[in-house]
Structure 1
């Protein structure tokens, strides 16, 4: 069994005021919401780009592939930068990239301009997880970390939910360029608030002890537990990508559900996931007090989600029942979110928080990039139920990865 040392820094004193922790959690949560908002900076307006610029679905699909490839690669690399210079300046630069991406989008006159948006947004998205978790692990008292991780996941889901409403809503009132001007103003406001409250976001760079001075910054990659964590994120994200990409088409094809109702199912999944993360924060806090291992909480949550999704694939529930069960799947997976982040924290060697979170969370980008390619083949053949069953199977495999993390963590 391979053992990893615990945490990024010694736990904060239990006497830290709630107001101070809440300020840190709120600022990091707001930043995380902007990250997830930016995942959908282009996608909701794809139909308008296709109309105005004469693009194909393959053209606009490539924009998302570029976004996630840059984000995933950059996420793994930005963890090293966070560990060297601290999380705060990296986080500021990331939000500034989103602001630039919105301004470029507002001036785009063709495919090249949209590709520039994808590149800038991918660069901006890359550092968020290593930066966010470095701040939370250093600045939030250990007793409130479960709730901090809960809010972090919840705000991410809300960012996903807000982006289509914000961009499409404003675009419907005028030109789509106006929506991007509004997005730039939104990012500028977030950046100004973060700068004003920057003292809450400061982190310390952990110096290596003298006996480890010659050890490479890549030494953590030799820990098997890091790759078990990476595998967990990749597998669990594949299932989320199945729901986001194909659930509306599956519901319409199998049950004749309207496009509007089917699309709302994805929104319901994300909102239930956010609610699950809120509940999961209390579960994670209870686990800390009762010595319930975080990997077991994660495993049970993912297993429940896989079972619900498998029932959806059988067709037993009909259209309405399947939509409700998919929403419940989001809740089950969401409950495991805060414990998942606690699980990663326990597997992180001291002083390597940015590098480990960057590497591990790059599995999320890989999952988003790979899933549509693999399951798109099933969809093209009309194997709609098999697509849901495949998503359930992959989520079930993530249970094995979670248990593997627990067995290799001290």
Structure 2
């Protein structure tokens, strides 16, 4: 549902442009507001998760996101759109800290990688269905009704979250953290070199994947001589195989503790495939195969990525840790469109993929660097190593 919230507005831009009588720049500002508010909110909400519990924060985020979309649909003005985007960004800041705190506390460690992979796969499913659902509803009854229906669905789901039984492990973990009574319970130890490195890691992932997800179609049509249908098929292959790569990555994550190596290896291969797309003149079938394979490998790293964060989190601090590192997604989400839009405006569509390769190479370096932090934590006897 959180991924449906994230993608609720972009598919409706053609409808909203006409109904609100604004341009795409003004509509794009709503996405910027969403990402900026979410980036600012995630770390404080992560601390709130560790203090008052993940269930209440998760329910609040789900409810606030539903109210935000419902208000945009009901108000029907540009000012209402910006205000609703800000509220939706605040709601989005709750999901990663709360979700991962619940999973980290309630799932046995030997199964945590698969749990992360199923959770991420569900997010990919939300991403896949959101455009069809929103556009279909808008065609039937208008964009206001489409947003209202999605908002109401989120509010109804709050009723499932609030009575949810929490795993006993979460209460025990939180009790131990509170009993410690020191800096870890207060949250000081979460600001470590490993967490900072992983925040950079998430930012680079957002930049490289965002280039392909958001700008590959325009780049392929503008610089590769392929049709819009062929370009969309290649992007669909990337997205669909990414989802299945996540499931495979969950199995790998539960079979190794060298999560940084898994992430680095898979993303290095992704970079090579993307580089091939950037420099080679290939037909539409080869293009779809190359981007499909790249998508699969980029999905493989997701559970290992989450396990790296879990390993770096202090006792009772999963919410804080995931709240901080997830701001990287919003940083990349805010900066990437400006960079890749500038590249396209300057007539260099192949550099959309070239820049993505550069960010992937930096991501590999950061993932390998996590091995150093992990080794230091292990040698120092830090819990969670």
Structure 1 length as normaliser, TM-score? 0.86
Asked if 1:177 corresponds to 2:147, the answer is: no
Query: Is the aligned partner of 1:268 residue 2:237?
Result: yes
CA distance in 1, matches of 2:193, 2:162: 38
Q: Kindly tell me: are residues 143 and 217 of structure 1, through their superposed partners in 2, closer, same or farther at Cα, counting changes over 3 Å?
A: closer
Q: Note if 1:94 corresponds to 2:61.
A: yes
> Are 1:255 and 1:319, in contact at CA under 8 Å, matched by a contact in 2?
no
Q: Confirm whether residue 285 of structure 1 aligns to residue 250 of structure 2.
A: no
Relative distance call for 1:201 and 1:120 in structure 2 (3 A) is farther
After superposition, the C-alpha distances for 1:160-204 in whole angstroms (9 at most, x for unaligned) are 111101100111122222212321232133222223434459943
- Match of residue 36 from structure 1: 3
Q: Which of the numbers 197, 200, 206 marks the counterpart of 1:237?
A: 206
Task: State the partner residue of 1:357.
Answer: 322
- Give distance in 2, aligned partners of 1:212 and 1:297: 34
- Return the TM-score normalized by structure 2: 0.92
Structure 2 segments unaligned to the other structure (5+ residues): 379-385
Residue 303 of structure 1 corresponds to 268
Task: For 2:180 and 2:56, locate their aligned partners in 1 and report how far apart those are by CA, in whole Å.
Answer: 27
1:49 aligns with 2:16: yes
C-alpha separation between the residues in 1 aligned to 2:289 and 2:88? 33
Which is further off, 148-157 or 97-106? 97-106
Distance 1:263 1:192, change over 3 A: farther
Q: 1:148 to 1:110 in 2, by over 3 A?
A: same
Write the distance in 1 (CA, Å) between the matches of 2:184 and 2:295: 45
Partner SS, residue 126 of structure 1: helix
Alpha-carbon offset, residue 211 of structure 1: 6.4
**Per chain length, whose mean CA-contact separation is higher, i.e. which structure has more relative contact order (CA < 8 Å, sep 6+)?**
1
Is the Cα–Cα contact under 8 Å of residues 242 and 371 in structure 1 kept in the other structure? Answer: yes
Q: Is the 8 A contact 1:251 1:319 kept in 2?
A: no
Structure 1 residues 265 and 202: CA distance shift in structure 2, 3 A = farther
Where in structure 1 are there 5+ consecutive unaligned residues?
1-33
Other-structure match for 2:219: 250
Task: Select the residue among 334, 339, 357 that pairs with 1:369.
Answer: 334
Contact 1:91-1:128 at 8 Å conserved across structures: yes
Residue 88 of structure 1 contacts residue 201 of structure 1 at CA under 8 Å; is this kept in 2? Answer: no
The DSSP-based 3-state class of the residue aligned with 2:226 is: coil
Deviations 1:312-349 (A, max 9, x none): 10133233322332222111010111111111111112
Q: For 1:38 and 1:201, how far apart are their aligned partners in 2?
A: 30
- In the TM superposition, residue 218 of structure 1 has moved relative to its aligned partner by 3.3
**Residues in 2 aligned to 1:45 and 1:261: alpha-carbon distance in whole angstroms:** 23
Aligned residues: 372
Runs of at least 4 residues off by over 6 Å: none
Q: Which residue of 1 aligns with 2:190?
A: 220
